[in-house]
Amino acid sequence: MKDQYRPQDIESAAQARWTKQRAFAASEDANKPKYYCLSMLPYPSGKLHMGHVRNYTIGDVITRQMRMRGFNVLQPMGWDAFGLPAENAAMQNNVPPAKWTYENIAYMREQLKALGFAIDWERELATCQPDYYKWNQWFFLRMREQGIAYKKTGVVNWDPVDQTVLANEQVIDGRGWRTGAEVEKREMPMYYLNITRYADELLNALDGLDGWPERVKTMQANWIGKSEGAEIHFPCHSFGGDSAIKVFTTRADTLMGATYVAVAAEHPLALKVAANNSGVAKFIEECRKGGTTEAAIATQEKRGMPLGIEAEHPLTGERLPVWVANYVLMNYGEGAVMAVPAHDERDFAFANKYELPIKQVVACENYNDTEWRDEYSDKQRLLVNSGKYDGLGFEAGTDAIAADLEAKGLGKKRVNFRLRDWGISRQRFWGCPIPLIHCEACGEVAVPDEQLPVTLPEDLVPDGSGNPLNKCAEFLNVKCPQCGGDAKRETDTMDTFVDSSWYFLRYTSSDNHSAMVDARADYWMPVDQYIGGIEHAILHLLYSRFWTKVMRDLDLLQADEPFRNLLTQGMVLNHIFFRKESAGRIEYVPPGDVDVEYDKGEIVSAKRKSDGAPVEYDGIGTMSKSKLNGVDPQGMVEQYGADATRLFMMFAAPPEQTLEWSDTGIEGAWRFLKKVWQFAVDNCALMGDAKPFDWSKASDDVRAARRDIHEALKQANADYERKQFNTVVSAAMKILNALPKQATPDEAALVSEGCSILLRLLAPITPHIAQQLWSDLGFGDDIIDAAWPEHDDAALKSNVIELVVQVNGKLRGRVSVPSAADREAIEAAAMNDANVQRFVEGRTVRKVIVVPGKLVNVVVA
RNA sequence: GCCCGGGUGGCGGAAUGGUAGACGCAGCGGACUUAAAAUCCGCUGGCCGAAAGGCCGUGCCGGUUCAAGUCCGGCCCUGGGCACCA
């Protein structure tokens, strides 16, 4: 074996060996339990960043460990290749998005290979390949046939200068990022997927996802947002007939306290009034400004205006003013609310601002209608000022009022979800075309299955003024499949979340060109372990669950849920710097190009290295392409090797924890691997002997060292089980520290067993060095085929144990007792300690708590 | 604004109600070396003390417990998500 640890040599050799063996090419095998280990596919942004290294190392550690434990493991990889950054790069560099994307994929694939991940590359896919997105289109048409995909209008961000739709990311402080123009909301026809049809199942099935983090399930449940309440009709005759304003409320019990009705700015009634009322029209116009995100809407100043019409209270017939208010959301409930200012915080603030009446109907002492207190909305209190409903509680009051409303045909109990249907239409080029054709004679016609895929031209370059497909005659002009007349193709493409909602299924059947998935999907599904960033906790994971259920209902799949176990990786954060260009445009500056001045740990000033000009600090945030704060692992891999990089990433923090980027510590990982190598070189003559050894005849030192090793192994296995890999690494370090550096022949069994354990523990994390030493030291040919190490209980036994003695909970001494000592003997030994006596002397012992194997606590008065 | 996390030495972190700071990084001291690098050994939360030992200490305030970083209530700061970034 070589004297020096040189990762460049051993890493490429190990990778070549695995490739030649097709070691990670998975096939369906009935003789072994299957294990599908999946990491979220990367967006091919150009280069890997540390977040990718973290994500894929976690997946690889699990993959390799499960393989050594005897599972038939599949770990595939692909590319989430459609999306906005490719269009931006295209505009900047005047290259087609396809070229940019495929070049990025080629580069990043080599980076992944250099990191030695145990990936089955034969199943690789990219979502921008026609062979992949053909099935998006095929399945979209099946959903359209079922009514799951349907058309309605939706709101988008509109840049009035560029005359184009903007993504939320392109709206900064309510203005377009390129033009600086104030963004408007605009309605457009779009396709939606009817995810709300599955709302109940998506919510209830969370209970069965035992392998998911509680926090993710809570986030999904809150997102789905099931509310039990009532639909109530407030009759309104202003525009003739017997129409009514419908509202949804979770507090029907407080109906007698309703003093006005408020509708959203987009509500049909508001629009009708606006037709003849320029003040209202102007207000609605104002509400159209600004972004469409919930955050933008929720943080804006609450404003409203009377519509000048009235609605009838459904029980009392009292006339209530109708207002338009920007805090009412059109896409939640009915787009209208009954306002009960006395018992709803937002209504309270609104009523106080516009001097609307406030009527208390729930018992609260010292009610004050100018200062809000949370008890006003407490559901535990009883109704007052509510006529026949006085004295009822929340549930009884709701039931009684709902029953009376139902009898009058003016309402009923109802469940409402916060979840909205999923709008998938995008007015953008670099995405999967929606397979529809618009014919003047036949209307909207589906592209026939045999004409799929509708292929996206790969040579167009967007220019920022909208979707280039609209100017591409070759794509646009088509014959109608029904009548054969001239027709136009749909130019909207699909949300990229569509692509990522089922890619994990395509891996199982990636070579099948005649079906979306086949029976192999039922062999591999569900995914046994899914790993990806916590930022995907809601949207991607919810859409994938929905998509899986739809495929099940269309008999394409047996699985109900896609992901059995979920590990949400904490994000890798880095500092963000930027400066404002003219026209309000923001230019981000990579942290590596910034010199920073600190004062008491806080950044006080920053300058760009390349030109010395000041830059602004925008805090710390996730590594992202758009903010240019990603760190490329390439330099680290070249200098220290893949193993040291992987080890460092795993050692830096537990997988689920957020990690602020810093490269201090890579030296430590590198040093550790050098020490492992040196230990192997120094002791190689004693290794590989697998003869049984009688440890009871070994010296005390050898047995003590072996106990430390097996204790560390036990801890490491528990930590592998709970996926806390940073402490697995520290256990490996402890094992190396416990082994003699230059062993004597008497220690041969100890170093041989210890080294064999150490290499197998490290094999999932640092597979190259583990493979090289395993074969050099004669333990076997391939460590990936070695059995997983388990600790020996006999090695953990000890004659004497040390206990901690506390007096009133404070540490006062330590005593050694035989491990077989009983309670009395332990107590006596504890009381005998000189320092303990100092603190007990002259005081009364109230009780003595003995925690076996741990401590004694003497409680004195 | 709403929903979900996090806050422990100079730094990354460990501690599944039971010894706070494992394992590392950085730093300091020493060995080896003509020298440097590399390597090896030792020290390293703060304050008091010659030492033994003591007092303080896990974002802040309060509570439960023999015992709280860990459980409960309130607050502050910070990260993620909020439906067109992926």
> In this complex, which residue's CA is closest to the C1' atom of nucleotide B15?
A727
C-alpha A209/C-alpha A201 separation (Å) is 12
A299 Cβ nearer than 7 Å to chain B strand: yes
Lowest mean pLDDT among A430-434, A594-598, A679-683, A734-738: A594-598
pLDDT at A469 over 80: yes
Is residue A110 very low, low, confident or very high in pLDDT (cuts 50, 70, 90)?
A: very high
pLDDT in tens, A193-224: 999 999 999 999 999 999 999 999 999 999 99
C-alpha A762/C-alpha A683 separation (Å) is 18
Please name the nucleotide lying closest to A660, CA to C1'.
Answer: B12
Is residue A507 very low, low, confident or very high in pLDDT (cuts 50, 70, 90)?
A: very high
C-alpha A468/C-alpha A427 separation (Å) is 10
Instruction: Answer yes or no: is the ipTM higher than 0.90.
Output: yes
Asked whether A78 and A127 are in contact (CB, 8 A), the reply is yes
A660 Cβ nearer than 7 Å to chain B strand: yes
Mean pLDDT over A769-787 rounds to 96
Tell me which nucleotides of strand B come within 7 A of a protein CB: 1-6, 11-16, 18-20, 22-26, 38-41, 53-55, 66-68, 78-86
pLDDT in tens, A844-857: 899 999 998 889 99
C-alpha A255/C-alpha A400 separation (Å) is 11
pLDDT at A599 over 70: no
CB A160: neighbour CB atoms within 10 A? 13
A856 Cβ nearer than 7 Å to chain B strand: no
H runs (alpha helix) in A305-384: 345-354
pLDDT on residue A594: 87
Is residue A689 very low, low, confident or very high in pLDDT (cuts 50, 70, 90)?
A: low
> In this complex, which residue's CA is closest to the C1' atom of nucleotide B24?
A668
pLDDT in tens, A297-352: 888 888 999 999 999 999 999 999 999 999 898 888 899 999 999 999 889 989 99
Mean pLDDT over A791-816 rounds to 91
Flag residues 395-424 of A with CB < 7 Å from strand B: 418-420, 422-423
A520 DSSP 8-state letter: H
Asked whether A262 and A337 are in contact (CB, 8 A), the reply is yes
A332 DSSP 8-state letter: S
**Half-sphere exposure for A517 (CA within 13 Å, toward CB):** 25
> In this complex, which residue's CA is closest to the C1' atom of nucleotide B25?
A665
CA of A627, C1' of B28: distance in angstroms: 40
Helix axes A700-721, A748-762, angle to 10 degrees: 10
C-alpha A546/C-alpha A420 separation (Å) is 13
Flag residues 203-222 of A with CB < 7 Å from strand B: 214-215, 218-219, 222
pLDDT on residue A239: 81
pLDDT on residue A584: 61
A626 Cβ nearer than 7 Å to chain B strand: yes
pLDDT in tens, A118-150: 999 999 999 999 999 999 999 999 999 999 999
CA of A810, C1' of B57: distance in angstroms: 14
Mean pLDDT (chain A, rounded): 93
Flag residues 528-587 of A with CB < 7 Å from strand B: 534-540, 571, 573
CA of A717, C1' of B29: distance in angstroms: 38
> In this complex, which residue's CA is closest to the C1' atom of nucleotide B54?
A812
pLDDT on residue A596: 81
pLDDT at A237 over 80: yes
Is residue A597 very low, low, confident or very high in pLDDT (cuts 50, 70, 90)?
A: confident
Please name the nucleotide lying closest to A221, CA to C1'.
Answer: B3
Please name the nucleotide lying closest to A719, CA to C1'.
Answer: B16
Asked whether A123 and A76 are in contact (CB, 8 A), the reply is yes
pLDDT at A808 over 80: yes
Strand partners for A36: A74
pLDDT at A673 over 90: yes
pLDDT at A600 over 60: no
Give whole-number Cα distances, A85 to A43, A97, A292, A434, in Å: 9, 9, 21, 20
pLDDT in tens, A156-207: 999 998 888 999 989 988 889 888 899 999 999 999 999 999 999 999 999 9
pLDDT at A582 over 70: no
A639 Cβ nearer than 7 Å to chain B strand: no
A49 Cβ nearer than 7 Å to chain B strand: no
pLDDT on residue A625: 81
A723 Cβ nearer than 7 Å to chain B strand: no
Asked whether A393 and A404 are in contact (CB, 8 A), the reply is no
Please name the nucleotide lying closest to A535, CA to C1'.
Answer: B80
pLDDT on residue A262: 95
Please name the nucleotide lying closest to A295, CA to C1'.
Answer: B82
pLDDT at A106 over 80: yes
pLDDT on residue A413: 95
List all residues 6 or more positions away from A110 whose beta carbon is below 8 Å from its beta carbon.
Answer: none
pLDDT on residue A690: 67
CB A93: neighbour CB atoms within 10 A? 11
Asked whether A285 and A381 are in contact (CB, 8 A), the reply is no
pLDDT on residue A777: 95
Mean pLDDT over A18-39 rounds to 96
pLDDT on residue A526: 98
Q: Residue A282: what residue type?
A: K
Strand partners for A848: A858
C-alpha A147/C-alpha A398 separation (Å) is 35
C-alpha A426/C-alpha A497 separation (Å) is 11
pLDDT in tens, A474-492: 999 999 999 999 999 999 9
CA of A846, C1' of B56: distance in angstroms: 27
A202 Cβ nearer than 7 Å to chain B strand: no
> In this complex, which residue's CA is closest to the C1' atom of nucleotide B5?
A215
Question: Which of these, A20, A65, A76, A59, lies nearest to A507 by C-alpha position?
Answer: A76
Lowest mean pLDDT among A50-59, A172-181, A517-526, A591-600: A591-600
What Rg do the C-alpha atoms of chain A give, in angstroms?
33
List all residues 6 or more positions away from A415 whose beta carbon is below 8 Å from its beta carbon.
Answer: A226, A227, A228, A229
Q: Residue A491: what residue type?
A: T
pLDDT on residue A371: 83
Tokens 């005047």 found at = A94
Mean pLDDT over A520-533 rounds to 97
> In this complex, which residue's CA is closest to the C1' atom of nucleotide B40?
A741
Lowest mean pLDDT among A284-288, A528-532, A550-554, A768-772: A284-288
pTM for this structure?
0.95
Q: What is the DSSP annotation of A622-683?
A: E--TTTT----THHHHHHH-HHHHHHHHHHHS-TTS-EE---TTHHHHHHHHHHHHHHHHHH
Flag residues 766-825 of A with CB < 7 Å from strand B: 802, 804, 806, 808-812, 814
Mean pLDDT over A77-94 rounds to 94
| Phi, psi torsion values for A271, nearest 5 degrees | -65, -40
pLDDT in tens, A447-467: 999 999 999 999 999 988 889
**Half-sphere exposure for A352 (CA within 13 Å, toward CB):** 13
CA of A740, C1' of B33: distance in angstroms: 25
C-alpha A231/C-alpha A856 separation (Å) is 62
pLDDT at A839 over 60: yes
